[in-house]
């Protein structure tokens, strides 16, 4: 049913094989799209995405007023809590 396909990596332009086994796995998982990157580009993309330092932003806790840091840009439409207040509210 599945046959190996040769695809072109959208990052490096190299050809790579999308094997019949990989296609079967994608079908079992319900994935709709074929891979667009070769294995080495996928691995390098994962490494840079997961290992980069997280940018933290200064904020003031809405509950206790203590300064805190959060991993998103604070907006005025929702309250922001320090770790202690956030845990106590859960």
Name the pTM for this structure.
0.53
**pLDDT tier at 89 (50, 70, 90 boundaries)?**
confident
Q: Where are the alpha helices (DSSP H) in 33-82?
A: 39-51
Residues in the chain: 90
- pLDDT, residue 52, reads 67
- pLDDT, residue 48, reads 79
Radius of gyration for the alpha carbons in the chain, expressed in angstroms and rounded:
22
Per-residue model confidence as pLDDT tens digits over 29-60: 999 999 999 999 999 888 877 776 778 999 99
Beta bridge mates, 16: 7
Quote the CA–CA distance of 17 and 38 in Å, as a whole number: 8
Per-residue model confidence as pLDDT tens digits over 73-84: 998 889 999 999
* 28-33-36-40 Cα dihedral, nearest 10 degrees: -20
How is residue 68 written in tokens? Answer: 């805190």
- What is the domain partition of the chain in residue ranges? 5-51, 57-89
């Amino acid at each position: 049913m599945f046959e190996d396909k040769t695809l072109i990596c959208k990052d490096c332009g190299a050809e790579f094989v999308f094997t019949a086994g990989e296609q079967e796995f994608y079908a079992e998982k319900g994935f709709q799209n074929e891979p667009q990157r070769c294995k080495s580009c996928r691995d390098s993309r994962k490494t840079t995405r997961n290992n980069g330092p997280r940018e933290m932003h200064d904020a003031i806790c809405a509950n206790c007023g203590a300064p805190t840091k959060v991993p998103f840009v604070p907006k005025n439409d929702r309250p922001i809590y320090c770790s202690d207040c956030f845990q106590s509210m859960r």
